[in-house]
Copies of this chain bind each other. A is one copy, B any other.
């Protein structure tokens, strides 16, 4: 079965949607609201034929006029009259099953599912390639910012050097709220949940999993590698305290949960962690639920993109852009289509992902000293010197906290992650510090 719509005079396209939650409903609403504009721009009448939902009785936030609802996903993906399936149910294993079945039926796929793409993308793209169908996933990264199109097509002439991104709106909302309103992490998280930004189980957002999935997709496109989600170094933000944001601010920095990918001659770096970035950095003012991406490429230099990274409408914007792309591209011979990950399937590059142990940073260290006379303040330079680490004089931050505990903040010269970890381990062993009492954050200077 071939999924190539060969007739260029085709005037209408039938689509099926899996899931009518916030993104699904927004997609329906925007397709209806902008119907005339889309018809004018593309020349196609887009017909939403069927939608699969979990509960047929549930009230909807979109008009379902003209759409056949079903609670059986296979009613949609096996409908021979449907050309394109929009997968918006999330999750990983079930979605994978549905997407693979839809591909086997010759359907093109549009999905917003970063977890699915990051985890099973290679298998899905390879199967889609065999079946001559397209799998589009702009909505999987950075919501409404067309960052995948930018990387894969807009900057196609460039060799991409590095990508720095704020890719999780929930985490950025929490850090912004902590910074601006002085609230604790747990309270900022609670606000994010009340406002519907964070899910009941916020683990994927705050522990960097969601960001790592998105980063693995971007780096795969940028560097021509297979998807390397499992190789991303990941640190979350739940250990960040308000005092860290205050101290950072006092030093001219802000703290952001960064995704970082870089290619050097032979290897790539893939990391997600909270980091201090200078207030003048292009991403320093990306606040709240906004996502931002800085791309450094060999021809164009540095370009920056930002906008709402999540929510129904921005995600629907990306879903519809993909839908139009798929419709336009169906008449293209597969060889001439934009490859899913910007590489030819037969020629994956096998870069090694570097261990973070070898990476070099300056660090921000905050020690919580319950006893002001603690010997650490006199011995720390001696211990640091053992590892070749230079400590810079830091501002006295004690005026920034309202507890009886003293926080001492130190900024270090550049050293490797490995030496820094050894240094901290010795401090922990010698002075009974717990993880809670020593906060280590990397400083992202130049690119990052």
Contact = CB atoms under 8 A, between A and B. Distances in A.
Interface stretch (A59-67, A195-203, A307-315): A307-315
Contacts of A285: 285
Contacts of A338: 328
Contact of A319 (B157, B304, B308): B157
A350 to B, nearest CB: 13
Given A156-B320, A303-B308, 11 more contacts: A8-B333, A34-B157, A37-B159, A40-B344, A40-B347, A42-B156, A138-B154, A145-B303, A149-B154, A150-B154, A153-B153
Given A38-B157, A146-B153, A308 B301 contact: yes
A41 interface: yes
A335 interface: yes
Contacts of A30: 157-158, 298-299
Nearest to A36: B159
Interface in A270-291: 285
A144 interface: yes
B157 A324 contact: yes
Q: Say how many copies of this protein the assembly contains.
A: 2
Interface in A323-356: 323-325, 327-339, 342-344, 347, 349
Interface in A250-301: 285, 297-301
Interface residues of A, number: 70
A443 to B, nearest CB: 21
A43 interface: yes
A317 interface: yes
Interface in A210-256: 224
A317 B157 contact: yes
A144 B299 contact: yes
A97 interface: no
